Structure 1
């Protein structure tokens, strides 16, 4: 059975997932690689587009409109005492030396890059990334330094974006392997409860396919930009349920049947 047919079967057939325990470990590992690649593509495209658009917008804003400021000793200071805000396309640019705005205020503004009094806040995809200025040890830097950085970044997108895509893929791949490994360990408990004689290597192979349904669901939700409450718990519950159903499809040993 080719790997794409395995994907299709893994969406609804615990019986087929149980049969996959007999295949070589290499094919199961390859399945995790391909599953991760297919379902990380939306994020790869989204973040690549966002980075390219955002870098260009920030570069343009800092070269034309953003008021002068200096960041020194972890604090932003500016002659402009009122918060400055503008939008370039889908990206908002904020500079606030007054301390009037908090990171929580930035989240409500949509996709925004905000230079607040004590931290840099970047909101993308409904999530806030906050970096205190104290992390930038060394000499003070100004809006001109930020402009120079984003000019360099804009000129280097052809190098930076492939690195970003590769980093995302490796990160997601590592997370998937960890997920499969822990699910297989949990499968040791499930197979005892179900009275099935299975080794860890069988459970690892079955776990690799048991995550297909939950991975597909959360990928669709990501494409729809819909946040799923308690997503972590739902993911593990669905995957564990599929694994348990697959374990039950494994014939019980004669000893277990007699009992």
Structure 2
């Protein structure tokens, strides 16, 4: 049975999932990577669109809409009397705040923001903080023109950035999938004892990998639709546990094997 048929049948058949315990572990590992690839697609699309659409507009906005500023000795310095400037460029809210008044709660209200605060640079995308770095760790002082030049270079190299960012996300997502499967397998290993199922931990791990198929597909679709799921973690793990339990239940018990 190829990986696509297994994927399809794992969406509805605990009996098919139970049968996967006989396959080689290498095929199961490939299947987990396959699930990680599928679930990475919405985020990769978002990463690509934001890089493609916003790098150039942020560069243009800094050049046109903001006064001269610099980052000197770990602090933001504005060259004009106005020590707080903000504007919106396409999807991004851009802030220069020398006052230090901008709080975490203020930034939490912004979905997409680039904030040059008094002592750090903060970048948020789709409400998630992706970068927060104190100026103290910057290797040099930077002027407004230096930052615009960096953005220009990034804009010229955006395809490389897109590939690297997508690859890094896929690797991280794969790690999280393997972690989830292993955690679920530990639960399944406990579950097999009272159920008297004669299966090894490696077989439970294989079954666990296919048991997360439904939740992977569901949450991937929700991400495509940009629809948040209330109590998503609880719902996801509950479904995973139920599918794993039903799959293990399909395996003949030790007593049934002796009778046969």
Q: TM-score, normalised by structure 1?
A: 0.91
More displaced 10-residue stretch of structure 1: 224-233 or 119-128 = 224-233
Query: Which SS does the other structure have where 2:139 is aligned?
Result: coil
Q: What's 2:28 paired with?
A: 28
Q: What's 2:110 paired with?
A: 109
Which digits, 9 at most, give the CA deviation of each residue in 1:160-191, with x for residues without a partner?
A: 11111111111111111121122212211011
| Contact 1:119–1:131, Cα closer than 8 Å, also in 2 | yes
Which digits, 9 at most, give the CA deviation of each residue in 1:7-40, with x for residues without a partner?
A: 1111121111001111122221121121111221
In the aligned structure 2, how far is the partner of 1:180 from the partner of 1:172? 12
The offset of 1:246, in angstroms, is 0.6
The offset of 1:130, in angstroms, is 5.2
Matches within 5 A, 1:148-163: 148-163=149-164
Matches within 5 A, 1:34-73: 34-73=34-73
Matched, 1:227 2:231: no
In the aligned structure 2, how far is the partner of 1:80 from the partner of 1:57? 26
In the aligned structure 2, how far is the partner of 1:227 from the partner of 1:205? 29
In the aligned structure 2, how far is the partner of 1:19 from the partner of 1:104? 51
Figure out how many residues of one structure are paired with residues of the other and give that number: 258
The offset of 1:44, in angstroms, is 0.8
Unaligned runs of 5+ in 2: none
Q: What's 1:178 paired with?
A: 179
More displaced 10-residue stretch of structure 1: 79-88 or 8-17 = 79-88
Change (3 A) 1:137 1:157: closer
Spell out structure 1 runs of 4+ moving beyond 6 A: 255-258
In the aligned structure 1, how far is the partner of 2:137 from the partner of 2:130? 15
The offset of 1:80, in angstroms, is 4.2
In the aligned structure 2, how far is the partner of 1:175 from the partner of 1:181? 10
Q: Aligned-pair RMSD on alpha carbons?
A: 2.0
| Contact 1:86–1:94, Cα closer than 8 Å, also in 2 | yes
More displaced 10-residue stretch of structure 1: 108-117 or 133-142 = 133-142
In the aligned structure 2, how far is the partner of 1:80 from the partner of 1:253? 81
In the aligned structure 1, how far is the partner of 2:28 from the partner of 2:110? 44
| Contact 1:85–1:92, Cα closer than 8 Å, also in 2 | yes
Unaligned runs of 5+ in 1: none
Change (3 A) 1:203 1:142: same
More displaced 10-residue stretch of structure 1: 208-217 or 223-232 = 223-232
Q: TM-score, normalised by structure 2?
A: 0.91
| Contact 2:110–2:127, Cα closer than 8 Å, also in 1 | no
| Contact 1:81–1:98, Cα closer than 8 Å, also in 2 | no
Matches within 5 A, 1:77-116: 77-78=77-78, 79-116=80-117
The offset of 1:139, in angstroms, is 2.6
